[in-house]
Amino acid sequence: MALVISSPHAHGGDSIRMTMLTVIIALFPAAMVSVYLFGWLAVFLISGCMLTCLLTEAVCLMLMRRSLKALLDNSAALTGLFLALTLPAGIPWWMAVLGSVFAIVLGKQVYGGLGYNLFNPALSARVILLISFPLAMTSWLIPMHVGPSALNMYDFSAALNFFLYGPDALKVGLDAITMASPLGHVKTEWTQGIGVAQALEAYHYSYLDAFLGREAGSIGETSALALLIGGIYLLARHTITWHIPFAYIGTMLLLAAIFSTVSPEHFAPPMFHLFAGGLILCAFFMATDPVSSPVTPTGQIVFGVGCGVLTWAIRTFGGYPEGAMFAVVLMNCTVPLIDHYCRPRVYGHGGGRP
Amino acid sequence: MPAMLRTLAQKLGMLAHGFQGGVHPQDNKLTATMPIEECPLAPLYILPLKQHIGEACIPLVEVGDKVLRGQKIAKAEGYVSVPLHAPTSGTVVKIEEHPVVHPSGMSRPCIFIEADGLDEEDKPLEPLTNWRELEPAILRERVRVCGIAGLGGAVFPTFIKLVHDKNYPIQTLILNGIECEPYLTNDHQMMLEEAEEILQGMAIIMHMVGACSGIIAIEDNKRDAAEAMQQALAENSELAAVRIAVLPTRYPQGSEKQLIYSLTGKEVPAGKLPMHAGVLCQNVGTTRAIRDAVLFGKPLTERLVTVSGDALPRPANMRVRLGVPLRYVFAHCGLEDYDGIEILLGGPMMGERLRHPDVPVIKSSIGLLAMRQETIMQAHAVEEPCIRCGHCGQACPAGLVPNLLADQCRSDQFEKAEAYALFDCIECGACSYVCPANIPLVQYFRYGKGQIAQLRRAQAFAESSRQRSEARDARMAREQEAKAARRSRVREEMAPAPAAENAGAGSGASKKTEES
């Protein structure tokens, strides 16, 4: 052994593989809820995205003549799972495949692979999909147990048929199987001059349903409860720290509380914002993606606050009903700057203490 | 912000001080509470001339000389240096280069002493039993001539730390009995068996530096040691101002700067000494050595080491003579075959990997570990890309952002690395320990520090060369000018010579020019 190895000669045993696996495990409750709500469609989406991501990663690694061992680090599988959970159940299969390829190629490998990407791969792919296919990406299937739908997603052949050939296969109109998401509904009504409270009443909005996940939305985003269980697991395993999720959600709640108190007609209440759309998924899982978030605690708080402000602003004033993924992707750009300016105080350097 | 909250809580007394970061490595204290053994005399002792930080010693003996135990065999050179003493009686057989403790297996001049087995002692120095009446300077000189350097691993000549500076009075003496490295138990065992002796040393040091209070710091995984010290303290009427602090077990609690913060809430300013925060830290073993030097006039010729490791058949806490080859100590503990075994000097977190077991024990050797190669290689798995998880920053006790620093060192952005406080890294290894990507962060920092130091040396050299060459140019120009001036004067003297013959005087020439 000629190589010079220097101390420490002990290691705690953490690995990238386990870190990624922990996040996958943390997403398990949300994935289960998505299967409960969207039946086989969720299964197809999740497995399709994960497989495509792994395949794309393998192709990229081969093209770059790198070891295929990198597939085992679970990062590509996690990206696939992330992406699937942020997609609406009704999108065509090829869109999901395209998104997965985008996520791996444009979101990760073009920067040099794991650890070098500026943006969260899954979220950047979702943003690309949303901008490219706005209609498909905002048509929400009526989940099982929520309302009468012409599509029984627990029926394997019906679901497969729908997944492969789209709504045309059913010979029913889109209206018979889709509904508006709460965020979308409020936004549409608001553009027609109807106040928030009135819009929510017309929607039969229930906070309990929103918390449990009995509402329309992307397959993994609906259940705040399932996501919170996963988030707490990540916190308990020290995979993430509290800084980003708390700063992010706290900022959202604060802004919503202030504005909805001042003008309840124009601004949605804080609890609505909390349970709606992808906030909790983004706050606990996407914004905390280690590669594309700041490393210092202060930086993470700044990052979380920035995400909160942007999400609230886009939801309230923007053209899109949901702003969480835009907010995170935008804040991803600022990470190198935040890291530079938000370094912790070094031992023995000022700080008032002798 | 969290740091602010913590500080606030500490000020309100809701939270004990605790340094930030740190890790909890598996402690593997195989030799805990094993009684101290004496290592038998070895046939040969090898004494490197440089065992401390600072200048190497100059040998006072020659090949063939007979020496006695405790006899000075090399004298200190320069201020930051201490003399060296023979560990046993015998004959100096050679003085030549031999591999010493160094990551590259470098060789350095050593004195070889063949033991005669009689272990005759030289006449000890006069015991200073009346140390309470003596000037600190006299005691300090005693500590110096006895060759005492920090036995906790840093081996800084101890007498330098024992100063009495009016501008920076030392209020508190901290006795460092933390021993946070895995495997090591020698300080623990010394506190259990020799509590009284340690306290005597503590009293002497407090007298020397004029400290009015003392803290004995012990981690809470060694409560028995804390009890032993407490008992000895209760019997000692002199040390009423000394208390025992039991601190939570967390690596690197024993690092001087972190320990000072944990105990006093004060930070040692960057680039300064603990003295500037009004404290002095001494290791348990050093304190005991000071006591022996003052009360018995015994120079430093032996130390306690932990001989341990997962590949060692019979681990032990052992008192060994300085200069005994590791091979001899390991053989005494049942290890003969070094196939598939890695040797570490010190603990696994900060120790050095040695290339072979023929190097001798020196003043800095706190532990001799024989580890299985697999264990070591597991800790040095293949480096993967950084995923910026920030665990290194959370573990860093110095408040650095190790992953950014490592990037800078790796890409040779040394100025930036310095601005990111590279030199405040204490190389404790907590960052590498937690890194999920197995990045050898500390190795990058050492590389960065080394490169910067080299760069500085090169710059200093270039600067002095430039000055030299400028001075030379200036001198040449001056000489040229002087030569030219002389030449023109000579020419003038020569040229107007015919005229001068007429005028009758050389001065006439200058008058002439003045007139013209």
Give the confidence band of B516 by pLDDT, cuts at 50, 70, 90. Answer: very low
Tell me, what amino acid is at B131?
A: W
**How much is the pLDDT for B8?**
62
* C-alpha of A110 from chain center: 21
**How much is the pLDDT for B474?**
93
Mean residue pLDDT across chain B:
88
Residue with tokens 């594309």: A292
B23 with B434: CB under 8 angstroms? Answer: yes
Residues B216-249 as b/e (b if ≥16 CB within 10 A, e otherwise) read bbbbebbeebbbbbbebbeebeebeebebbbbee
**How much is the pLDDT for B390?**
92
Reported as a single tens digit per residue, the pLDDT across B8-67 is 665 555 556 688 889 999 989 999 889 999 999 999 999 999 888 888 889 999 999 999
Give the confidence band of B311 by pLDDT, cuts at 50, 70, 90. Answer: very high
Beta carbons within 8 Å of B28's beta carbon, 6+ residues apart = B182, B183, B308, B310
Tell me whether the omega of the peptide bond preceding residue B440 falls within 30 degrees of 0, making it cis. Answer: no
Cβ contact (<8 Å) for A10 and B182? yes
Reported as a single tens digit per residue, the pLDDT across B455-470 is 999 999 999 999 999 9
CA distances from B406 to B97, B326, B385, B389 (A): 36, 34, 12, 14
Chain A residues touching B438 at Cβ < 8 A: 11, 15
pTM over 0.90: no
Q: Tell me if B190 is assigned to some domain.
A: no
Complex ipTM: 0.89
Share of chain B above pLDDT 70, in %: 92
Among A8, A9, A353, beta carbon nearest to B266: A353
**How much is the pLDDT for B511?**
45
**How much is the pLDDT for A353?**
40
Cβ contact (<8 Å) for A345 and B427? no
Kindly identify which residue of chain B lies nearest to residue A289, measuring between CA atoms.
Answer: B389
Tell me, what amino acid is at A178?
A: T
Q: Does B153 score more than 80 pLDDT?
A: no
* Domain-wise residue ranges, chain A: 18-180, 182-215+240-343
Number of domains comprising chain B:
1
- CB half-sphere exposure, B364, CA atoms < 13 A: 21
Q: Tell me if B442 is assigned to some domain.
A: yes
- CB half-sphere exposure, A192, CA atoms < 13 A: 8
Reported as a single tens digit per residue, the pLDDT across B374-429 is 989 888 888 999 999 999 999 999 999 999 999 999 999 999 999 999 999 999 99
Share of chain A above pLDDT 70, in %: 98
Mutate to test the interface with A, among B183, B251, B267 (most CBs of A within 10 A): B267
A172 touches chain B (CB under 8 A): no
Q: Tell me if B441 is assigned to some domain.
A: yes
Among B261, B387, B404, beta carbon nearest to A290: B387
Mean pLDDT, residues B168-183: 92
**How much is the pLDDT for B504?**
47
Cβ contact (<8 Å) for B353 and A18? no
Share of chain A above pLDDT 90, in %: 62
**How much is the pLDDT for B265?**
86
**How much is the pLDDT for A1?**
36
Q: Does A257 score more than 90 pLDDT?
A: yes
Tell me whether the omega of the peptide bond preceding residue A8 falls within 30 degrees of 0, making it cis. Answer: yes
CA distance A17 to chain B (A): 8
Cβ contact (<8 Å) for A8 and B398? no
Q: Tell me if B328 is assigned to some domain.
A: no
Cβ contact (<8 Å) for A10 and B348? yes
Which among B59, B108, B57 is positioned nearest to B78, based on CA atoms? B57
Mean pLDDT, residues B156-181: 89
**How much is the pLDDT for B410?**
92
Q: Tell me if B484 is assigned to some domain.
A: yes
Q: Does A4 score more than 70 pLDDT?
A: no
Q: Which domain holds residue B481?
A: 381-488
**How much is the pLDDT for B514?**
45
Mean pLDDT, residues B82-104: 89
* Ramachandran sector of residue B5 (left: φ over 0; alpha: ψ -120 to 50; beta: rest): alpha
Tell me, what amino acid is at A323?
A: G
Tell me, what amino acid is at B516?
A: S
Q: Tell me if B325 is assigned to some domain.
A: no
Among B344, B385, B421, beta carbon nearest to A113: B385
Cβ contact (<8 Å) for B390 and A73? no
Q: Does B502 score more than 80 pLDDT?
A: no
**How much is the pLDDT for B507?**
47
Among A16, A113, A290, beta carbon nearest to B390: A290
Q: How many separate helices (H) and strands (E) can be counted in chain A?
A: 17, 2
Q: Does B508 score more than 70 pLDDT?
A: no
What single DSSP character describes residue A120?
-
In this structure, the number of other CB atoms found within 10 A of the CB of residue A320 comes to 17
Reported as a single tens digit per residue, the pLDDT across B103-138 is 677 888 999 999 998 888 888 888 998 999 999 899
